[in-house]
Amino acid sequence: MRGLIKIATLVLWGALACCGCSRSAYAPQPPPPAPRESAPSELAEGEIWIAGHWKWTGRRYAWVRGRSAQRQEGHWVPGKWIKRARGWVYLPGHWD
């Protein structure tokens, strides 16, 4: 019985922790143009440059600087802002 209670508790905590996972932050207006940002002239072997992007803070846009990342299998698909019925939402970049 104790084991069942522990499992139920873990499941409940997992569900509560993930409640906000699928919610997106909608921005009322599109992001501003991206500032000029240049990748370093040299990256370590096996790394790629991932360009920066705008993040909605709930009140305004904040710039998230670009970064280098270890190359993975597939190719990097950059994130993008898209218009939805409730406003603008950011779809993060990912490996495809």
Give the mean pLDDT of the chain. Answer: 84
- Under the banding of pLDDT at 50, 70 and 90, the label for residue 1 is low
- Please tell me the distance from the alpha carbon of residue 26 to that of residue 5, in angstroms, as a whole number: 38
Q: Does 12 or 80 have the greater pLDDT score? A: 80
Q: What angle do CA 5, 10, 16 make, to 5 degrees?
A: 125
Rounded to two decimals, what is the model's pTM? Answer: 0.70
pLDDT per residue as tens digits for the range 14-33: 443 333 344 568 999 999 99
Sequence length of the chain is 96
> In this model, does residue 45 exceed pLDDT 70?
yes
